[in-house]
Amino acid sequence: MSYTNRMMSRTHFPAVLCYFLAFLAGLFGLPVYGQVYLPQTLHTAPAWSPNGHEIAFAASYGGTFDIYTVDIWTSRHQKVSNHPANDLYPSWAPNGRWISYYSDRPSRFGPFPPERVLYKVRGLYENYARDGYRPSWSVDGRTIAAHLRSERGNYEIYLMDRRGRNRRPLTENRATDVHPKFSPDGSSILFISDRDYQPEIYVMDADGRNQTRLTWSDSFDLDPVWSPDGQQILFISNRDGPFDIFVMDRDGSNLIRLTNSPSIDMAPVWSPDGSKILFSSNRSGYFDLYVMNRDGSSLQRLTSGEYHEYYGSWSPRGSRIAYLSTEHGDPHLFLMNADGSRKRQLTR
C-alpha cells in the first residue's frame, strides 16, 4: 500500500488510499477494435465527493494517468496521485476523507493487477462498466470490495480494509467474477460473473455467502446499478439487439425494458431520490446524455452537438450533472444543471 496526503477542503488534510489494481475491458471476450488507446486528457467518469463540492477524476497531462480533484466553485485543481503507472477510477469513501482507485503499478505478490485493455464502440473509446471498475466502499467506510486477478489467472472479488490489508476472496472459482458493488444498506454485493459461460448479474451477501444469479440470457448483461433504496437494479443488455437499459427487482424478478433504441444506450445512473434515470446514448449519431423517469417515460435529451457527451453523474443532491465531453477534442470534464442548462467546462 502507498499513501499520499492531499488537500480535500480548506480545513484538513486527509489521506488517500491507493491499492494496486488495474482497469480493464474485454474480460468476457468482448470484441476489441484497433489498438489500445489512452486519451491524452480525461478517461474515467467523474466521481462526486459526498458533500458535492469536489469531483475526482483521472487525467493524463504528462504521459500516464493520475487522480485529480476539482472544486466546482473555484475550479481549483488538486493532484492526488503522482506515479509513473496509470491511476484510474477514483472512488470516495462515505466520509469524504479517503479516495481509493485502481492502478496498474506492478505487484510482487498475489492477487495481481489485471491486464489493461480498451476497446472502441462506434467511434467512442471506453469500457462497458462505467462505474464497475471503481472500488466499492462499504457503508461504514471500513471495507472495500474490488476484483483482482488470482494466482490461477482468473478474476475474483476480494474484500480488504481501507488500507488495502487483510484481503480475502469472496468468490473462489475458475470463472471471471468482477465489478462488485455494495448495496445501499451494505448487506449485499452485486457483481458480474461468467461462471455459467455467459456474463450475467449475480448478488451475494456482504460476506460472500448465498451467491445467486439474477439474470438469464444468451447475451451480455452488464453495468448493474443499485437504486438508492436498494430495491431495484438497473443494467444494460444486448439480449434484444443493441444495448438497452433494463430494470429488475433486487431478487431478479419483474424485469422491465426501459429503452428500445436501434443505437447503444448505456451507463445508467439513478438520481439521488430514485425518481429519474440518467444515461448515455448515441441514438442521435453522437453520444449524448438523456434523462427519463424511473419507469422509462418522459424521455428528455440534455445535450446535443456534433461531439460526444457521455458518462453523466448526478451530484449528491441531484441538482447538477458532471459529465465528459469531446467538444474540444479529447474528453474533458463539464458541469451542468440537472435540466441541461448552464453548461461549463471544469478541466482543460
Q: What angle do CA 273, 276, 238 make, to 5 degrees?
A: 130
**Cell of residue 160, nine digits:** 480488504
- Closest by alpha carbon to 164, among 334, 345, 1, 332? 1
Query: What's the average pLDDT block by block, 10 residues per block, for the chain (348 residues)?
Result: 30 30 34 33 78 92 87 93 87 94 73 46 41 86 91 88 90 92 97 90 97 94 95 95 95 97 93 97 93 97 93 96 90 94 92
Q: DSSP class of residue 42?
A: B
CATH architecture of the region 19-345: 6 Propeller (2.120)
* Through-space distance between the first and last CA atoms of the chain, rounded to whole angstroms: 31
Count of CB atoms situated within 10 Å of the CB of 194: 18
Q: Which three cell numbers stand for residue 243?
A: 444495448
Integer CA distances (angstroms), 155 to 151, 192, 235, in order: 9, 11, 21
pLDDT at 103: 82
- For residues 78 and 7, the answer to whether their CB atoms sit within 8 Å is yes
- 3-class DSSP state of 326: coil
- Beta carbons of 70 and 77 less than 8 angstroms apart: yes
| The C-alpha cell that represents 260 in the structure block | 428500445
pLDDT on residue 192 = 93
Give domain limits for the chain: 19-345
- So what's the pLDDT on residue 1? 31
With a CB cutoff of 8 Å and minimum separation 6, the contacts of 29 are none
Which of 239, 264, 224, 242 minimizes the C-alpha distance to 124? 264
Name all contacts of 102-106 with Cβ < 8 Å and 24+ positions apart: 102/21, 102/22, 102/23, 102/133, 102/134, 102/135, 102/146, 103/18, 103/19, 103/20, 103/21, 103/22, 104/21, 104/22, 104/23, 105/20, 106/20
8 A C-beta contact, residue 273 and residue 260: no
Q: Are 262 and 168 in contact (CB under 8 A)?
A: no
- The pTM assigned to this predicted structure is 0.85
Q: Which residues pair with 191 in a beta bridge?
A: 202
The pLDDT assigned to 113 comes to: 52
Contact criterion met (CB below 8 Å) for 321 and 343: no
Grid-cell match 485529480, residue found: 68
Q: What is the pLDDT of residue 10?
A: 27
Tell me, what's the pLDDT at 110? 60
Give yes or no for a contact between 136 and 189, defined as CB atoms under 8 angstroms apart: yes
Sign of CA dihedral 226, 169, 26, 63: positive
Chain-centroid distance, C-alpha 302: 21
Chain-centroid distance of CA 181 in Å reads 10
In the three-class reduction of DSSP (H, G, I as helix; E, B as strand; rest coil), residue 155 is classed as: strand
Q: What is the pLDDT of residue 340?
A: 96
Model pLDDT, residue 55: 96
